[in-house]
A and B are shown apart, each in its own frame.
Chain A
């Protein structure tokens, strides 16, 4: 059986090998991330059935928990690492052809570090280790955002770095408080002893941790870096940032809230923050003219929806949130990837310059449409069962307040529909702008290395949308993994 630690070790090791390899022969470096992700994908798939029965606790220093750092490969961790590997693999394939200029080897190396950070975050059971992987993720994404070294890239990278650094300092302060209070960093051990400390003392570290991780998770007032970073990064990086990175931050927030604190009491606050994030994200996206910035704002909106679902704090709500995580990861990466070559061909990110792309790049435009429809939540795409589950969870309460909140959430959906439908019309049915170069059909469509991941993502979106039970089968245990504090403590620390 594969040891879950390999899920972290293999990409990390390969990430360090890439620069060395790049010194000798740069060409093959571009295939390394894909290879690493193939390994992770296969390993996660192998692990999944096993950890569904019983989470696998990995000791790294030969000491049983709570001592030393250990990993917990539970349904949620392995499920998310599977998602990371899947999206990571597809984006890596895309990047083979897409990333041609600049220090290519460094790109691939940083890309692997980013994925290592995300995978490490979802697998670790140690709070400080979580922070370390979080930093690996953040630092590599600061660098990748500025990959092209252009005006927008460096500007957004600098702003992202400032906010991210403040965020991680807050996390570190929170960890210091937690360690001072409990004398341990094992999340299960903290969770076990959480009731031994007065709520007032407990709240302070929680506030620091949530705010710190919240910066990466992009909840409402902390997300100002996101539209800049996602819109000015290379499209493949935008895809992975939107698809994976913010989900990792969200995972950290959820772990802290549910597993460590078991915070049902502030669920309503989380819910309200989620709704505000959703509304502000969607409204900011509404009259955007820059396609990537629009997609970034739409990511904020979707994050809001996920936070809303988490704030329901019920089994079905968390399941819906995880479903949304999967659906948004697939759909948003699809959107960024398919838009990537359109921008490359037209040389502009203005939505109006993408008019008529349906004729010039039919496959990309079709896949963009599928992704957009999925985000709006139309059947038969994956967004529909995801949104459906969330709203089902909210209305499960049979409380007029929650019905009203769902109404507000659906207003966000309508706004989202409005701008996505406008773009879809533009892509397919509007005449191309005057300045567009006359079409030469054979050279216009994106290359095969880009079409393969795009089409695979689109196929996945449709397949899961038609048969959501392939996914819900795993989401139930994963949601329990997050919510069921007692079981988590039991698995890690033993009875």
Chain B
């Protein structure tokens, strides 16, 4: 049981990544694909946070005297995740705006039908 307890956040975030990947691979609707990408992003962000997570840790702020640095959660991954969230959001926003344009041109969001550029 301790294995599951120790690694449950890793399992969770990789499950999210794999679900997202499954959507990207299998779904043909562009909006769904973008949702899949978003899920992957979320999974990765969770992963990053959990890399720096310490069980029962405190926020990495020296608020009260004597709070041991050892009990603090690593702040770097959190900074990374902030950046990664911003990047993820902008990618998704751009993707959705492209999807709107694409729909105007093709009248569909089915990626199997949007195949004018090939070979």
B76: which A residues are within 8 A, CB to CB? 179, 185
B47: which A residues are within 8 A, CB to CB? 173, 176
**How many angstroms from the CA of A156 to the CA of B51 in the assembled complex?**
35
Contact A151 to B84, CB < 8 A, known contacts A158-B95, A169-B17, A173-B47: no
Whether A135 contacts B87 by the Cβ 8 Å rule is yes
B21: which A residues are within 8 A, CB to CB? 166
A135: which B residues are within 8 A, CB to CB? 87, 91
- Asked if B101 is at the interface of the complex by the 8 Å CB criterion, the answer is yes
**How many angstroms from the CA of A185 to the CA of B76 in the assembled complex?**
9
Q: Could you mark each residue 12-36 of chain A with 1 if its beta carbon is under 8 Å from any beta carbon of chain B, else 0? A: 0000000000000000000000000
- Asked if A152 is at the interface of the complex by the 8 Å CB criterion, the answer is yes
A176: which B residues are within 8 A, CB to CB? 44, 47-48, 51, 77
Within 8 A of A (CB), among B72-119: 74, 76-77, 80, 83-84, 87, 90-91, 94-95, 98-99, 101-102, 105-106, 114, 116-117, 119
Interface-side segment among B1-9, B33-41, B61-69: B33-41
Q: How many A-B residue pairs have CB under 8 A?
A: 94
A180: which B residues are within 8 A, CB to CB? 51
Nearest Cβ on chain B to A202's Cβ, whole angstroms: 16
**How many angstroms from the CA of A175 to the CA of B74 in the assembled complex?**
15
Interface-side segment among A1-9, A83-91, A141-149, A248-256: A141-149
Whether A128 contacts B98 by the Cβ 8 Å rule is no
**How many angstroms from the CA of A128 to the CA of B119 in the assembled complex?**
35
Contact A155 to B116, CB < 8 A, known contacts A139-B91, A165-B91, A176-B51: yes
**How many angstroms from the CA of A159 to the CA of B106 in the assembled complex?**
14
- Asked if A445 is at the interface of the complex by the 8 Å CB criterion, the answer is no
Q: CB within 8 A of A139: which of B74, B90, B99, B101?
A: B90
Report the contact-size class of chain A (Cβ under 8 Å from the partner). 35 or more
**How many angstroms from the CA of A48 to the CA of B47 in the assembled complex?**
40
Nearest Cβ on chain A to B102's Cβ, whole angstroms: 5
B91: which A residues are within 8 A, CB to CB? 135, 139, 142, 161, 164-165, 168
B41: which A residues are within 8 A, CB to CB? 165, 169
Closest to A153 in B: B101
**How many angstroms from the CA of A161 to the CA of B102 in the assembled complex?**
13
**How many angstroms from the CA of A157 to the CA of B95 in the assembled complex?**
9
Closest to A229 in B: B117
Nearest Cβ on chain A to B21's Cβ, whole angstroms: 8
- Asked if A162 is at the interface of the complex by the 8 Å CB criterion, the answer is yes
Given contacts A165-B37, A165-B41, A169-B17, 19 further A-B pairs with CB under 8 A are A128-B83, A139-B87, A139-B91, A139-B94, A146-B101, A154-B98, A155-B117, A158-B98, A158-B102, A161-B91, A161-B94, A162-B37, A162-B95, A165-B91, A166-B37, A176-B77, A179-B52, A183-B74, A232-B117
Within 8 A of B (CB), among A147-203: 149-152, 154-159, 161-162, 164-166, 168-169, 172-173, 175-176, 179-180, 183, 185
Whether B94 contacts A143 by the Cβ 8 Å rule is yes
Closest to A183 in B: B74
**How many angstroms from the CA of A358 to the CA of B91 in the assembled complex?**
42
Minimum-distance CB pairs A-B, first 10: A228-B117, A180-B51, A154-B101, A165-B37, A151-B105, A169-B40, A135-B87, A172-B44, A154-B102, A176-B48
Closest to A152 in B: B117
- Asked if A132 is at the interface of the complex by the 8 Å CB criterion, the answer is yes
Residues of chain A having any CB pair with chain B under 8 Å: 128, 132, 135, 139, 142-143, 146, 149-152, 154-159, 161-162, 164-166, 168-169, 172-173, 175-176, 179-180, 183, 185, 227-228, 231-232, 284
B37: which A residues are within 8 A, CB to CB? 162, 165-166, 169
B98: which A residues are within 8 A, CB to CB? 142, 146, 154, 157-158, 161
Q: CB within 8 A of B77: which of A156, A157, A173, A179?
A: A179
Pull 28 A–B residue pairs with CB atoms less than 8 Å apart, ordered by A: A132-B83, A135-B87, A135-B91, A139-B94, A142-B94, A151-B116, A152-B116, A154-B105, A155-B102, A155-B116, A155-B117, A156-B117, A157-B98, A158-B99, A158-B102, A162-B33, A164-B91, A173-B17, A173-B44, A175-B80, A176-B47, A176-B48, A176-B77, A179-B48, A179-B76, A183-B74, A228-B117, A284-B119
Whether B87 contacts A168 by the Cβ 8 Å rule is yes
A157: which B residues are within 8 A, CB to CB? 98
Nearest Cβ on chain A to B37's Cβ, whole angstroms: 5
**How many angstroms from the CA of A146 to the CA of B100 in the assembled complex?**
12
**How many angstroms from the CA of A180 to the CA of B48 in the assembled complex?**
9
Closest to A161 in B: B95
